[in-house]
Amino acid sequence: MVTEEQWRAICENDARYDGKFFYAVSSTRIFCRPSCKSRVPRRENVSVFRNAEDAMAAGYRPCKRCKSGGARMPDVEWVAQIEAFVLEHYAEHLTLDRIADGCHGSAYHLHRVFKAQKGMTPLDFVHQVRIRRACVLLEMTGMSVMDIGVAVGISNAAQFATLFRKLEGVTPSVYRKRRMVGIDGE
């Protein structure tokens, strides 16, 4: 249970409470120091621990931003966390800052580490995930192309069609027609 005093320390990033407790966020499975500059979590998702060891024993990972575990998380593990975050939130408005905030790191460091590990930028990965999901929706649903764009996080129809064509080589409509011919022709 989070006390009012602890919650105030978390909301105000109060460094005076560092070392007195750590807080963990169930939605991200990450624990932080009270002074962490990450976005304030939802109170119902927060648990408090006396020390980093207790938080890790409960299955939480240290925050990369505030280095709550005393050591950095390996880059490979952090990139996996970034990928999981994108897969869960691809339909939302995602910026590099939003991803970095959700994964407890700086945008610059996240971009550099992700590109070094995956050979593409985090936003290129977001686009790839969105278009893969759009392909599934084009094949499996009767949704309009515009509605599919919105469903995968791209509300501008022209931007969706341009990105789709760039990654798939054809427009969404042509992609759907070709898939339907393939299905009917079997």
Model confidence over 20-44: pLDDT tens digits?
899 999 988 899 988 888 888 999 9
pLDDT band at 183 (very low <50, low <70, confident <90, very high): low
In three-state secondary structure terms, 88 is helix
The alpha carbon of residue 34 and the mean position of all alpha carbons in its chain are separated, in whole angstroms, by: 22
Q: How many angstroms separate the Cα of 9 from the Cα of each of 17, 32, 47, 157, 174?
A: 7, 12, 14, 44, 55
Backbone angles phi, psi at 62, to 5 degrees: -70, 150
CB atoms within 10 A of CB 180: 12
Contact 71, 62 (CB under 8 A): yes
Q: What is the per-residue pLDDT for 180?
A: 77
Strand 61-62, strand 30-32: pairing: parallel
Q: What is the pLDDT of residues 136-160, one digit of tens each?
A: 999 999 999 999 999 999 999 999 9
Lowest mean pLDDT among 24-28, 65-69, 170-174, 175-179: 65-69
Active site amino acids: 32
**From residue 73, how far is each of 27, 81, 107, 177, 184 by CA, in Å?**
18, 10, 16, 46, 50
Judge contact between 78 and 103, C-beta under 8 A.
Answer: yes
Is residue 64 pLDDT above 50, yes or no? Answer: yes
Q: How confident is the model at residue 133 (pLDDT cuts 50, 70, 90)?
A: very high
A 10 A CB-CB count for 51 gives 12
Q: Write down all domains in the chain, each with its CATH number in brackets.
A: 4-62 (3.40.10.10), 75-123 (1.10.10), 127-184 (1.10.10.60)
